[in-house]
Every structure is written in structure tokens, then in C-alpha cells.
Structure 1
């Protein structure tokens, strides 16, 4: 059988600021057979997306396809005219990008956007295209498939928007679909549902696909073969089973190792046993957005009765789906969003709730590291100035003293001193995040609020950042509040874990306590939704997990009732949705917010062997 795609000697170059051509894809050759799913795996800069886009005869701004050949269905893509390429894209080859939110026009109904390519290429009438789209909505398990197309992008969830993007790609019955990191930005519970419907659609349609990702566990569920890339060149090609069990290339082995993060926490028994007050203590915080009423409740409450403590040299992980209040919690502790109710204590001393009312020393001791270094670092300032600003503000350092300290900070985050004269756009994603960490460390804080600091990074870079954080904690004794939606990362760096859902704490305990038996139904859902690094995991997921994962987005409950009620498989109608939910102390040492007793939850099937 002739391959649908045949790439030989592909070479792509990109022009830098000095107008020099740099090779970013070099001598890449591979084939994709009809009905096959081939994954392109590698870290940022490996050439994954560049190669995938080349299959459509497209190169991003500043880049060009400089050599090689690409045959698609027997036709030479690189020899096509612009008109022929326009006819090919969206019709015969469809592309599903990473960010669904950025792909839709917020001012147009979803159905009109989904059928746009079918109308543009005139492959069917509008009525037929609308009927086909609704059929795809059913196939992709979208809620209310007959009417979801009438909604606008902001009226559906992220997972639903990603499935609508897949419908847009499939509406013309393309011969090849390119999936470019389509689940990377999704929470694990949303990802599991999207992956399931993607796999079902691919399998039932016999779709030929190229799947771009840096997540081997996700790729293992979908791909027949894996192509491992690094620095624009192929390092290894083999079946998915062989790559996962018998990798030959050292880089492939490093990717597999990075997919299973090692525990990096420091020895903290002595620190936990001390009688010294916690670095930070949050007591019964209620916070949100909008006007606060007479009862002290914001118009849009986000956090409700949240309490926590973090001791020196330890890490508390906060995990949950998007919208659960993780980042709001960090903003409240930092004083960027004053709490409507509750107290925040720093080393036993009450902190003003607003950053504007805190002393310079109080501001210094609590630092926040934001998720996206690209937006957190001023692109118009060199790294020396970015790091120098907190040194001047908090410590009054200038001149030679400041320059020496900048060099020390760069060394602390394992960056060479010459980086001081560079600008953010001259650094890689991992390097920018290290500068982000160095800026927080410049203040010499007691607590660092790490808000999704690894979520935008590849697995190999994530491993390096996690190693760095653990090393800094051992050397400096700094405490971390580590926010993430990635359970493997939380497992690697955190001593204690708090699980949030719709602004409520659902379960809170040591990492080992949650690993023994995650009793809360939501804790179990989160842990059960993390893809395992083996083939067949997606097909063997428990039906209860699938039902809870697809039940919808988190919605705050009325009063003090349970927010997880609508999705919970063990709910008690008339109690869970009406009565205040009690906090229970479990025999393993963790706390849980649930109407069910520990004995009831165990009898109802909380899995004792679930690995956290």
C-alpha cells in the first residue's frame, strides 16, 4: 500500500535577528500509512510543529522550507501553487491547534465557524454542512448536540471548545488530520474526556493522523508509531510499544524518565517537629470578585472557608481543575486580591489583607512566581535590570554590589553570568522561567507562591526546574505554595497536598496519606484521570470515572453545601446538596470534606491501591 504521506530529506530554515539562516529541521524523512496515527514527540525547539505544518506546505513567519520533498496522496506539496495549497488546507488536510480559545471568533456562533471550511471549499451545501456538523457533535459527545452550535465560544467549556475544533477539522472528511498538542492546556479530567472522544472518532473513521505532543503518556493512548525529535533531527522511530518498553536512543530514554518525575522533597521531619510558628497560616479565607455585600460575601465568590499552614522548608501543593480557585488563593496570600473574610498570618504575625497596606519587609518575604514567564518578564529590559530592580527596592543594592548579586542569582538558578546582558526574547522557555525564579529569590523570601510555573514547559525542562526548586529549598529553607493541575508534578515536589474544587477544600493531607487511599470521590477522580505511560490505559478506564469526568465544569454550591454534588457517584440527595458539608479527620491523618464517613467511603469502593 502506498503511503498517504511521504517526507524525504525535509529541511527548514529560519532567519534570526541578524538575518542569518539557521537550520531548524534537518534531513527529516518518514512515511504515514493510510489509517495510521504517527506521533511527533520532542521538547520545545525540536521541530515538531514545524514539520507538521510543512505537511501542508506552510512555514511560519521568518521560516522557509529550504529543501527535500513532501508527497501527499501522490502529489508534490512543495510544488503546488498558492491556489492549490489553499484548496488542500482545511479540505484534504485539517489542522487542530493547541488553543481552541484562540482559534474561534468570539463574535460568531459556533456552528457557523465549524462549517466555514466546508462552505469555503464548496464540498457541500450549507444545509448538508450543518447536518454533518450536528452529526459530528453527537459523535464527539458534545452536550445538547442539536443546539450547542447556537452558542458562542465563551458559553462552552474548554474541553467542549476543543471538541468543537475537532468537529471543524473533520467536517470536510479530510484524508489527514494534524493534531498539534490538542490537550496540553486542559485539566486531567477534561483531557480524559477529549482523548476518549478523539480516539473513538479516529478509530471509527479510520482517520490518518499526525499527533504532535511532548506528553508520552497521551501519545501512548493514540499512536501506532512514534517519531522522536531533537534539535530538528529524528533520533528514533519505532512502534509505540517498542518506544515505551525498549527505547534505543539515549534522548528517548531521558524523555521516558522525565515522564515519571522523581520525588524531590527535602528531609523535613525536624522542621515539622519544631515549635516555631508556620511561615504562612491562612484561616477561613473567603475571597472572590465584585462588590462585597453586607454579609461580607463578594458578588462572585471563588474561595470559601479555605485554611492552610506551611512550615519553613516545606512545600504545600494545591491542585484542582481550572476555576477551582488555585491562582486566586495565591493572589489572596500575596495581597493582590484582598480576602473578604479570614486571616493570613506570616510567622505568627497577622498580615494586612491588601498588599498596599503591607510593609516593604512583609512584601519581600512573600513572593509570587507567575505561570507564564513570557508575560511576567519585561521584554524591553535586559535580565540585569529585571533582577536588579528587586535588589534595589528591597535591599538598596546598586552599582558593583548589585552586579555581583545579579551574577550570584543567575548562578543560583544555574544560568551563566553572560545571560545578564540578554533580553527575555533571546532566552528559551526554561531559561525565562529560571529568570522568573531568580527575580523572586532576589527578595530573599520566606515563602514563594509558584503558580503553575512548569505548566507551559516540556517534560525534560520541567524535570530540570523541579530539581532546581528542590535544591534551592534545601539550601535556603524557603517554603513553597506550589499550584498545579499536574498530579505527577505535585507528587514530585510536595510534602502536603490540598485538593480544591469550586473554591472548597475537598481533601488535605500528606502526600503519603493521599497515596495510601484517596478517599474523597473528587480526589479519586483526579488521580484516576492521569494518563499512565502504557498502551491501553484509556480503554480500561472505569465507567464511573468517565461519567464524573464528563459531568461538566465546577459550579459553586449554595451556602456551605458540597460543590461536587452534581458529579459525585456517591452523593446523598437531600443532604449533600442542602446541608453544610462537615470536615472529617481520617485515620490516615488527612482531612476530608464530605457527608460520607470514612467507613462508608471505603465500603462504597474508594480504591485502596490507587497510586498517587
Structure 2
């Protein structure tokens, strides 16, 4: 066996002297060249167990085991200096967020070759040649020159593949992949999964893949170990876990990964929010157009108590749209209306009442919540600002808010660092609800959460918007969750609304080619899904690669029409409950990658 773990225990020592176990009696073995997935909720011990194979534990914790073996190395018997020589050489680590794993002041190439130089495995010239080979094998663009760029100059998917190159450059015996695609949109995730699977096969490395997503690990793993509260519920082949799980907990994870559509909301007939012909971006505005445009002619409306899903890949303009509605980014053209009232474009010009009525729940609760304040202080501030509540009246309302978000009162004295990810996001939500808004913008609020916690947060938001009549804008790159949660779906691509569709019409299956690409990119709990996935779907390209007078999806479209798509902006086609921005008629729309028969020639 390439990896063997027996009787692994990890515990934290409190200041009082108590020893609190966080991982208990974990045992598994991995044959050479195979991938074991560690699955479970946040706090189940996945990353803690994986890092123990590098001899690493967080401050105040200790590792005890009968055996921790990687190849011919007894990790559990090594000294700190011996472990230093192993890490990054014979055992490598791929982090969840590549953006935070790179030094922004150094070029990509200098960081990728660093493990070879630090461990004295090659000279600089040889190391650079090896890096270029890896860049090419991982399908990175311009492999000979991409290394001269800085981390911020490549996309998230490209940077994640660069991190894979850095992990593989020393030809390690064990690679630990810690949620490597969680922060990526679905189309980028597909490309990264393909390259990871190919890279693992070519290198012959053994791997541990940490994730909370069963559908993702089904594409890359050979075996799955399911964890809960630091113990192993079950372990088996991917097929056995997916098709005949022995644990009730495993079945609950599978259920959470397949959200069921909620009933349509009984929304009021009046529109509480109307967005009309919004154009917005960054830089100086000239003739109504920003120097760096992001949104182009975006329009929609939402009724009181209804939920609108805004979906699209990273860079499509979803968060920019949220900022425009909230006034954080003034629009260059167009209006945002609350009822019959046109809101000032800039937040600084909006009244306190206008600010109160539109609230945002930000994606990352860690950065949205003040780490120096307690939960009581975080929730009391908007109560004082918007409603003038202080003292006992504020305390009573804080208690009501905690009840709304289903948190116990003992969290009031805690700071955000003392809360779990799900608890932080609930507090983040409660702070927005404290204003008693008419419109609630949820910006990727579940993207950093595991499936079980994310499902609970979605259920909570759904209940609240129905019971309180709040119009909800749900921004996400997860089309399956948006479809289950929302009454209508708005699909953004390169800042343009390419489709607006009711949930009822969505199920009929005729969509803009980009919407179909998103649907087809959602992983299924089927080990053959990635292999069947069409290789024709190209990765995203720069927005300025084509004329702004043409459809922005043209370079990736398998259904483009010669003489139309390559000459003029597409028309907006309307029918009951659905509109698309496309040259093709309804009857000509087909799933991407399938044969297209129409009145004109399909572009090559």
C-alpha cells in the first residue's frame, strides 16, 4: 500500500488542561496510484485527517496513531526537521483557494519551480523546463509564457491548474487535494476536474481528495470514506457508496446534494423592484459608457415575496449587478426603482429609508462580519441605525432575530471567530434582516458551505422570504440550487441577459446555448459523467476578444449562424414566461454539442 493509516487520533488541548478529541480511531489504506476521497460536512475532520499525513496539525493539537505511513516513510515517527524535508517534495498539498495560496508580488513561474529549488532537486533551467511541460499537460494557455504573468493576471480556473503544477513538479508520492474546485463556477470546475484526473493518471501519484460534494468526487476518486464528527461512518468503492450507501448519514449527504424544487411563492402582483436598461462598469464614464463596461442593458422586475435567481460564471456581472442595485456602484445608464420610486444611483445620495429597504447578504461571512464585535453588537448596530432601537428594546429584537435564524442565545456573547461557517452565515443573514428590508440580495451565500449546511441556509432564506414577503435576489453559479429555490431565473453572460425564464418554462428544456452549457456542466452522481462530458465546450475567453457589437457568447457557441451571429447583435425573442437573446428561433434551439438543423449553416 502506498498510504496506510491505523488508529489515528487527533485532539486539542484547552487552557484548562482538558483534552478534546476532534478525530477518533481513523484507519484506511490507499493502493499506489489510487484516489481516496474524504467526504463530510464542515467540522467532520476531513482536512485535519489529510494534513496529518504531512505530520501537520493546528496549534494546540496533537497527533497520535498506531501507523501513518506514506511509501517507505513513517510520518508518525518523524521529527520536525524530517517532516520539513518531506513536505512539498514527497507529499504535496493543493489548497481550496489558489488565489490565497500564491504571492501576488512574484511571477507564477518563480513560485511553481520553488519546491524543486528549495529541495535541491534541479537547477533553475531544468526546473523552468519542467514547469513549462506541466503547464502544457494541464492545458494552460501559452505554456511557454504564462509563467511570466502574476497570479492576478490569470483566471481562477487557470490559477487552480497552476497550483496543481506546483504540487506535481517534484513528482510526489502523495498529493492532498483540499476542496480544489469548491470556489469555481461549474464550467471551470469541469475543466479543472478533467486536468486533475489526467494529471493524476499521468503522474501515477496516490491522492487524497477532500470534498463535501459527492458528485465531484465520483468523477475522480476510486474509493470514498464518509466522515462525521471526526469518526468514519463508512468506507467503500465509489460505486458502492453512490449506489448502496450503508450509513444513514451518507444518504443524507446525497439527498442534500440533490435539492428538490420548492413550490412557487404566493407573491404579490405588484413589482417591488424594477431594474431598467442598466449599463454599468468601472472607470471614467463617457457618453454613458464606463471605460471598463461590465453590465449591458440589463432589465428585470421582481414581485414582493418572489425569488429571482441570477446565474452565470465568474466574471458574468452577477456581483456587479448586486452592487448597482444596492448603490455601491453607480450605474452609467438606466434606473433602479423601488415600487414607483427611482433610487439615486449612488448609495451616498440615498436616504436612510432607501438604504434600509435594500440589503445585501455577502458571500464571505468571515470578511463581512466585524471580528472585534460580538454577535449582540453586530445585530444591535442596524437596529440602532435604521430603527433607533437601543437598550432592552434592542435586546428583545436581537432575541427575535436569533429565533428567526434558528440560533441559540448563547452565541450572543461570541465573536465571529468562535462560530462555525453555517453560524456565521446565519448571523450575516440576521444583520440584513434587522433592517426589515423589502429586497434581500443574497450574493453566493452558500458557495463556501458544505452541502448539508448550504441546504439548511437555503431552507431558512426560503422560509423567511415567504413568511416576511421579502423579494429575494439569489446570485449563484449553481444552476441546480437556483432552479430549486427561485421562481424565475436570469442568466447573465459577459454582462448581458441571455435568458430570463420562469421555473415552469425552464423545465421544458429549450434554452439559450449558454444556459444549456451551464446545465450540462453540473456534475452528476455517476462515475461515467466526466468521461461522457463533451470536449467541445471551450473555456471562457476574454470579453474583448470579439467586437462588442456581436453576441458575447459567439466564440463558445456550437449553434452560431453564419451571416447572423458574426455580423450583428442578436434579437431578444419572447414567449410566455421566457425570453432569450439569440439569433435562433425557438424551434431551432438544440442542446449544445448536438447536431443542429436550421435555415442556415452552423459556424465551424
TM bucket (normalised to shorter chain) is over 0.9
Cα contact 2:70–2:174 (8 A) shared by 1: no
Q: Report the alpha carbon displacement of residue 533 of structure 1 after superposing the two structures with TM.
A: 1.2
State the partner residue of 1:571.
Answer: 560
Q: Which aligned pairs between 1:306-321 and structure 2 lie closer than 5 A?
A: 306-321=298-313
Matched, 1:536 2:528: yes
Q: In 1, distance between residues paired with 2:371 and 2:591?
A: 56
Q: What is the aligned residue count?
A: 596
1:257, CA displacement in angstroms?
0.7
DSSP 3-state at the match of 1:516:
coil
User: 1:468: which partner in 2?
Assistant: 460
2:381 to 389, 396, 400: 389
Asked whether the equivalents of residues 265 and 470 of structure 1 are also in contact (C-alpha less than 8 Å), the reply is no
CA distance in 2, matches of 1:371, 1:126: 41
- Which residue does the alignment assign to 1:513? 505
Q: 2: CA distance between counterparts of 1:152 and 1:88?
A: 28
TM-score (norm 1): 0.93
Give SS of 1:45's match: coil
The one of 130, 137, 146 aligned to 2:135: 137
Distance (whole Å) between structure 1 residues aligned to residue 114 and residue 248 of structure 2: 45
Alpha-carbon deviation of 1:34?
A: 0.8
- Cα 1:18–1:71 shift into 2, 3 Å: same
Equivalences for 1:44-123 in 2 at 5 Å? 44-123=42-121
Question: Which residue does 2:206 correspond to in 1?
Answer: 208
CA distance in 2, matches of 1:348, 1:556: 40
Judged with a 3 Å threshold, the aligned counterparts in structure 2 of structure 1 residues 556 and 437 are, in CA distance, closer, same or farther, namely farther
Picking from 359, 362, 366, the partner of 1:370 is 362
Aligned to 2:438: 446
| 1:136-189 deviations in Å (ceiling 9; x for gaps) | 222111112222222222222111111111111111111111111111111111
Shift of 1:204: 3.2
- Residue 9 of structure 2 corresponds to which residue in structure 1? 11
Aligned match of 1:155: 153
Which residue pairs with 1:590 in the alignment?
578
**Given that residues 266 and 474 in structure 1 are in contact (C-alpha distance below 8 angstroms), is that contact kept between their aligned partners in structure 2?**
no
* Displacement after TM superposition at 1:578 (Å): 4.3
Residue 316 of structure 1 contacts residue 481 of structure 1 at CA under 8 Å; is this kept in 2?
yes
CA distance in 2, matches of 1:124, 1:348: 68
Structure 2 unaligned spans of 5+ = 597-604
Q: CA deviation at 1:252?
A: 0.9
Give secondary structure in 2 for the equivalent of 1:174: coil
Distance 1:358 1:16, change over 3 A: farther
Which whole-Å CA distance do the structure 2 matches of 1:43 and 1:301 have between them?
39
Partner Cα distance (1:148, 1:518) in 2 = 39
Q: Deviations over 1:389-408 (max 9, x none)?
A: 11122222122111111111
- 1:84 and 1:78 map into 2 onto residues whose CA distance is 11
C-alpha displacement at 1:330, in angstroms?
0.8
> 2:590 & 2:328 partners in 1: Cα distance?
41
Deviation at 1:563, TM superposition (A): 1.2
Q: CA deviation at 1:112?
A: 2.3
Residue equivalent to 1:245: 243
Deviates further, 16-25 or 332-341: 16-25
- Residue in structure 1 matched with residue 601 of structure 2 by the alignment: none
Q: Is 1:191–2:189 an aligned residue pair?
A: yes
Task: Please name the residue that 2:602 is paired with.
Answer: none
Offset of 1:439 from its aligned partner? 1.2
Distance 1:240 1:154 in 2: 36
Q: Which runs of 5+ in 1 are unaligned?
A: none
Match of 1:305 in 2: 297
Q: Kindly indicate whether the alpha-carbon contact (under 8 Å) linking 2:131 and 2:169 is maintained by their aligned counterparts in 1.
A: yes
Per-residue Cα deviation, 1:474-518 (whole angstroms, up to 9, x for no partner): 211111000011112112211100010111111111123222124
- For the 8 Å contact 1:108–1:152, the answer to whether it is kept is yes
* 1:422-461 equivalent positions in 2, closer than 5 A: 422-461=414-453
Deviation at 1:121, TM superposition (A): 1.7
* Aligned equivalents of 1:45, 1:604: Cα separation in 2: 39
Aligned to 1:283: 276
Kept after mapping to 1: 8 A contact 2:265/2:487: no
Question: Could you tell me which residue of structure 2 aligns to residue 172 of structure 1?
Answer: 170
Query: How far apart are 1:607 and its partner, in Å?
Result: 9.6
Q: 1:604 to 1:227 in 2, by over 3 A?
A: closer
Alignment of 1:400-415 (within 5 A): 400-415=392-407
More moved, 451-460 vs 5-14: 5-14
Verify the 8 A CA contact 2:335 2:342 in the aligned structure 1: yes
TM-score (norm 2): 0.95
Change in Cα spacing, 1:474 to 1:556, as seen in structure 2 (3 Å) is farther
Q: Which has the higher mean CA deviation after the structures are superposed, 426-435 or 108-117?
A: 108-117
User: Matched residues in 2 for 1:246 and 1:300: separation?
Assistant: 52
Of 513, 518, 530 in structure 2, the residue corresponding to residue 526 of structure 1 is 518
Deviates more, 1:37-46 or 1:560-569: 560-569
User: What's the Cα RMSD here?
Assistant: 2.0
| 1:538-559 per-position Cα deviation (integer Å, ceiling 9, x unaligned) | 0001233xx33x2535558544
User: What displacement does 1:306 show?
Assistant: 0.2
Q: Deviations over 1:410-452 (max 9, x none)?
A: 0011111222222212211111111111111111111101111
Partner of 1:502: 494
Query: Which shifted more, 409-418 or 560-569?
Result: 560-569
CA distance in 2 between partners of 1:305 and 1:496 (Å): 19
Task: State the SS of the aligned residue for 1:453.
Answer: coil
- In the aligned structure 1, how far is the partner of 2:292 from the partner of 2:142? 27
